[in-house]
Amino acid sequence: MVSYQGRSSSTLSTDLTVFPTSMNEPKSEQWLLLNAVECWLHYFPDHQWTEQYKEIRDALQHTIQNSNTTQVEEQRKEQTSSTQERTTTRKKPTAKV
């Protein structure tokens, strides 16, 4: 099992969902804060404040994951409503007599 900053590979794979897929994407304030906390934990793993920083990291990850979930739900609603609009606004072909 691969370990990264004290986390197993199974935990790491779920943690990666909070990060943007491209470095060119704009970063949210929460993402920047999480990045700073992760850096601090990387460089100071045995510090007296490590447990507090881990709690902050977990809270930020939770916030980001909830934000991502909300964005996905909003996109699905938009797609559903646009599909419904297209199907309801189409005219039915009329048969010529």
User: Which contiguous run of DSSP H or E holds residue 8?
Assistant: strand 7-8
Other CB atoms within a 10 A radius of the CB of residue 34 amount to 23
Mind listing the pLDDT tens digit for each residue in 67-84? 878 877 888 888 877 776
Q: Please give the residue that has the higher pLDDT: either 37 or 22.
A: 37
> Three-state SS for 3?
strand
**pLDDT at residue 18 is higher than 90:** no
Report the range out of 24-28, 30-34, 80-84, 86-90 with the highest average pLDDT. 30-34
